[in-house]
Amino acid sequence: MDEHNFTRRGLVLGSLAILTSGCTTNWPLGSGLTSSGVKRRYLRKEVEYAGSEPVGSIVVNTYERQLYYIEGDGRAMRYAVAVGEEGLTLKGRATIGRKAEWPSWTPTASMIERKPNLGQYAGGVPGGPNNPLGAAALYLYRGGQDTYFRLHGTNAPWLIGQAVSNGCIRLTNEDIVDLYSRVPVGTQVLVI
């Protein structure tokens, strides 16, 4: 038999071996999710971009649930995001005023008021894999003041593409690490 031919028996037996080996996923087969739990259509991608924002800036389109890092020559790196629930998203211009890897998180008083179950975290959550801000955060400032809105990672990547947060913009941990490496403090951000 040619070494590149597969038999049905070989395919079935190989599949059974994988299924019984402990290699499992958290989603059903055929769900369209990647290994990080994100739908394939939401994977990071370089795209054409016709906007007028300067090279090196960020545009977040909350309607599209996409973030664009402007690269120039009509190109941008596109990242899928989860956005704030209706009425909770920051709009307009901001600046990245601070960056943090594995940031800690403390819900604001208004978050706890809207979602009382967050009161259990009022003392803060240290940075790490179980922190809702994920692997990194870019802190949005206006007029030199923290807006309390962030571009950050998430430990719930299956929520990318939805309006679910208290206003922050969530990216997969892989994507926030990539974006974090590209942008310095002072980067201009436009949220539309």
Q: Would you name the residues annotated as active-site residues?
A: 152, 168
E strand intervals along the chain: 45-48, 58-61, 66-72, 75-80, 83-84, 92-101, 136-142, 145-152, 163-165, 169-170, 188-191
Q: Please give the backbone phi and psi of residue 121, each rounded to the nearest 5 degrees, phi first.
A: -105, 15
